[in-house]
Amino acid sequence: MAISKKASGASAGKAARSKKKAAPAKKRSLVEEWAESYRPFVERTRERFDFLVREHGYAEPQVSVVPPECVVEYPKDGGHVQIGTEYGGVPYVSARFAGWEPFGLHEYMEELDPAYAAERPKAHGNVLSGEEMAAALDHEAAYLRRHAGAVLGGDPALLERLRQRRSAGGAAT
């Protein structure tokens, strides 16, 4: 059975008219772009710090991206442990207990284990490579896990020593 050119031409025209144009790609917001760029940091942080949830009763982490910063926060009893970075630089970890200001994990290290503080991995630039970020997070998480009783216990005597050390200028903030 032969198809006439006229019939096939009409069908082709109808098919062409029924095809919809592809919608333009949705533009991502600046926050969405930053959130995507911080995905490896968030994943690494969760891999290394989710022991806070499993072993110490902290809630699932809340992730906040406010360019240029990304913070992963594990809340508990009016306090929290925060792991953050700005522009993909050296991560910082802090612990806060209800009624106290937050103290950086580096301050705990300097007070409780100065030798470990001195072993902190060195960055070779302002923005860490994936390997440098992983090494920095490993260092912080290993310390926190090893000294969880002291750091996560909220000991008022230790917190007061940290406060005094900070006010005397003994710890970099």
- Domain extents for the chain? 28-164
- Of 21-25, 45-49, 111-115, the poorest mean pLDDT is in 21-25
Indicate the angle between helix axes 156-167 and 105-112, nearest 10 degrees.
Answer: 100
Look at residue 5 and tell me whether its pLDDT is greater than 80. no
Q: What pLDDT does residue 172 have?
A: 47
Torsion angle defined by CA atoms of residues 143, 149, 153 and 156, in that order, rounded to the nearest 10 degrees: -90
Determine the average pLDDT of the residues in 120-134: 89
More confident residue, 123 or 143: 143
More confident residue, 145 or 27: 145
Q: What pLDDT does residue 1 have?
A: 46
More confident residue, 11 or 152: 152
For residue 84, which of 71, 74, 67, 101 has the smallest C-alpha distance? Answer: 71
Element (H, E) at 11: helix 5-18
- Of 13-17, 62-66, 87-91, the poorest mean pLDDT is in 13-17
Q: What pLDDT does residue 29 have?
A: 86
Determine the average pLDDT of the residues in 161-172: 82
Look at residue 96 and tell me whether its pLDDT is greater than 90. yes
More confident residue, 35 or 59: 59
